Structure 1
């Protein structure tokens, strides 16, 4: 045969017998580099590829005297070696670039894209907006049209220096608070677009009545700024009754300003228009969204939770007067003030995968105040803080901790566990 034909036949035979050696060489190159960090020698790749190709050629009946003595064999060997060396090089490169420690925790620690972050002073924030339709959560009634539209048109500003998993948790908490949702699940992508699955509120009034108490609605003069959760005293002709505000509503110049999320009351001004027993009654209407948080003041109606023994006296009074009781100074702010006054600092740190704890510094100077875990204790999601756990408890990668102590040891400790 002519030389061009021999070359073509050699290319054909090389491709036919070189696929398996190339696959084996690429796989071995990847495995050796990934697990040992060492590159497989090229000479070993050549010997391995020729061995596999000769065995495969014998099985295919390609090793014959006329083939062994023709130029096509040399061309076929060169093709096999080039395929094997190329596959080995690509496998070695993949083994060097692929992360060696890949966990679900590291996958969840995704962050936002830089072009969606807004700088406000020295801090970054991001505006999260919903994408697509607001879906109903399985096992719950469908959302009302007003609530669905309110969620779809909403936007929420959150810190931009948090991983997406933490942003999802914070947005879920905010939606539960703002709209009183029974349950909600949020997924946020790198472009700050949120996919929301929500369940409507259930039992709007009755679930807020503490066990053993009853809710009573009265018509009275409502102080400006009164909101749900305020501690009040209702003064009657002969006694004072302590209670907690469940809802309040006033009417100013014919415009209704509500501080509730949708309880039903009569319009005739009856001071005892509604009565609910804690744990036994359900609200008649389902709120679509949470309106303003405080009243505008003036004549209106207030629903308070009181002890059962005080219900009769409250229902019989004709001119009840409402007095708001002081809650005093926030204990949280007092605690931080005392910490700063002692010369200590408080830091919030996420434990890294390679975090190392300095036992001497942590045992003598730094105190772990709280831990929020990301492991099996919380179902893979960081829900709930464990307060005062003690430093002897092991810290795992992905955990969030609040630590306190002198500034230098605390900063050293935070840098060590954040690696």
Structure 2
């Protein structure tokens, strides 16, 4: 018989008899690597594959004894060995990459793909961008074209070491703050692509006025950098009225907004047959952006009894009150000065309760996750309000001596 035919028959017999040896080699390679961390030697795989294939090859030899003297036997053996070694390599790779500890909590806590993580110094960050269209939320009016365009063209940098559920919560909070959305839902996949469903702002000014207060607009000289939320004092004649800034607008702010809407003289703008400009309108400035200063109008929330005095004053003067030093940073500085450290981590599934009880650390706050919350994290609980002991899946802040804290985190965190 011609040599090409013998080679084809050898490949056919090798594929036919190599399925079972390849399956066994791949399974053993996976099990040995997964449970012991050791790679099964290639020589052992060869011996095992030939032993299994010889049983099937022996049956074929009984049916057709001429196979043993033909070149097709050598080709078949080579095919069997290649299949077995390939299956063993894939099984060994799967055993090395598959996590050793699987739980429902770890499955829920999906993380980002390593390809989208950017290292900034020693900190990993990720840029989240929308994918597809921005969806309208059922039960709310549709989004305006400018707001929809601003969301679709936006991008947001977030920490990359958080699970996707936490990234979704942070992005939702940021979108509510930046765009005053009435409601928003975000879904982020492993490639940092966000699917956004949003509702437009409703009652933008009225919902920012605290109970028992009124909003009053006054014409005055606006300090540079004034923004929503600043605490101010307004001198109205002999009285001084305390208020909170709800919004500020000056002539310089209007000029900046007009300049952003106009294309530069050197730009060539193509207009299609429909008459719509090919250049999108510039997004409106954020409502909480700092003012450029100058003559303008400021809207403040004041007590009811002070409304009449402000409206009757022709030239009110506005003074911004200092909020003082951030107490949070002062607290952290004092902790560091005392030689202590603060760590944030998630309790692992194999954490030892005895280690947690004996550690020389203090639990500052805990964020629960368990069956009673439907698998979702509840709000932060601060000491001494923490009643039950820590459980797997809890997100915790602890403080203590730096060495003891690091040792505790290594023993308890996952």
Q: TM-score, normalised by structure 2?
A: 0.65
Q: What is residue 408 of structure 2 aligned with on the other side?
A: 413
1:151-188 alpha-carbon deviations (Å, 9 max, x no partner): 555565556x7458466665554443333344253648
Alignment CA distance shift 1:377-1:194 (3 Å): farther
Distance (whole Å) between structure 2 residues aligned to residue 3 and residue 253 of structure 1: 89
Residue 344 of structure 1: which of 334, 340, 343 is its match?
A: 340
Distance (whole Å) between structure 1 residues aligned to residue 368 and residue 72 of structure 2: 59
Q: What is residue 244 of structure 1 aligned with on the other side?
A: 244
Distance (whole Å) between structure 1 residues aligned to residue 173 and residue 48 of structure 2: 59
Q: What is residue 262 of structure 1 aligned with on the other side?
A: none
Distance (whole Å) between structure 2 residues aligned to residue 418 and residue 377 of structure 1: 22
SS of residue in 1 equivalent to 2:391 = coil
Distance (whole Å) between structure 2 residues aligned to residue 300 and residue 194 of structure 1: 41
Q: What is residue 207 of structure 2 aligned with on the other side?
A: 207
The structural deviation recorded for 1:108 is 1.0
1:271-305 alpha-carbon deviations (Å, 9 max, x no partner): xxxxxxxxxxxxxxxx9551463344555433333
1:323-362 counterparts in 2 under 5 A?
324-349=320-345, 359-360=354-355
Query: Is the contact made by 1:346 and 1:403 (CA closer than 8 Å) also made in structure 2?
Result: yes
Distance (whole Å) between structure 1 residues aligned to residue 342 and residue 23 of structure 2: 55
Alignment CA distance shift 1:16-1:256 (3 Å): closer
1:97-142 alpha-carbon deviations (Å, 9 max, x no partner): 212326536751544568x5455xxx56768374766633553655
Q: What is residue 217 of structure 2 aligned with on the other side?
A: 218
Alignment CA distance shift 1:84-1:125 (3 Å): closer
1:72-91 counterparts in 2 under 5 A?
82-91=78-87
Residue 393 of structure 1: which of 379, 390, 393 is its match?
A: 390
Alignment CA distance shift 1:72-1:416 (3 Å): same
Query: Is the contact made by 1:233 and 1:325 (CA closer than 8 Å) also made in structure 2?
Result: yes
Q: What is residue 98 of structure 2 aligned with on the other side?
A: 100
Alignment CA distance shift 1:236-1:215 (3 Å): same
SS of residue in 1 equivalent to 2:364 = strand
The structural deviation recorded for 1:53 is 6.1
The structural deviation recorded for 1:208 is 1.8
Alignment CA distance shift 1:80-1:168 (3 Å): same
Q: What is residue 365 of structure 1 aligned with on the other side?
A: 360
| Greater CA drift, 146-155 or 173-182 | 146-155
The structural deviation recorded for 1:346 is 2.0
SS of residue in 1 equivalent to 2:363 = strand
Distance (whole Å) between structure 2 residues aligned to residue 298 and residue 19 of structure 1: 83
2:24 pairs with 1:25: yes
Q: What is residue 298 of structure 2 aligned with on the other side?
A: 302
SS of residue in 2 equivalent to 1:294 = coil
Alignment CA distance shift 1:357-1:329 (3 Å): farther
Query: Is the contact made by 2:247 and 2:287 (CA closer than 8 Å) also made in structure 1?
Result: no
The structural deviation recorded for 1:394 is 1.9
Query: Is the contact made by 1:222 and 1:300 (CA closer than 8 Å) also made in structure 2?
Result: yes
1:126-145 counterparts in 2 under 5 A?
128=127, 130=129, 135-139=134-138, 141-145=141-145
| Gaps in structure 1 of 5+ consecutive residues | 258-286
The structural deviation recorded for 1:215 is 3.5
Distance (whole Å) between structure 2 residues aligned to residue 209 and residue 291 of structure 1: 15
1:214-242 alpha-carbon deviations (Å, 9 max, x no partner): 54223243552443223445666797765
SS of residue in 2 equivalent to 1:88 = helix
Distance (whole Å) between structure 1 residues aligned to residue 175 and residue 123 of structure 2: 22
SS of residue in 1 equivalent to 2:289 = coil
Distance (whole Å) between structure 2 residues aligned to residue 47 and residue 187 of structure 1: 50
| Greater CA drift, 176-185 or 39-48 | 39-48
Alignment CA distance shift 1:383-1:253 (3 Å): closer
| Gaps in structure 2 of 5+ consecutive residues | 258-282
Distance (whole Å) between structure 2 residues aligned to residue 19 and residue 75 of structure 1: 17
Alignment CA distance shift 1:5-1:70 (3 Å): farther
Distance (whole Å) between structure 2 residues aligned to residue 105 and residue 128 of structure 1: 22
Distance (whole Å) between structure 1 residues aligned to residue 395 and residue 212 of structure 2: 38
Give the aligned length: 370
Distance (whole Å) between structure 2 residues aligned to residue 10 and residue 293 of structure 1: 77
Query: Is the contact made by 1:10 and 1:71 (CA closer than 8 Å) also made in structure 2?
Result: no
Alignment CA distance shift 1:168-1:370 (3 Å): same
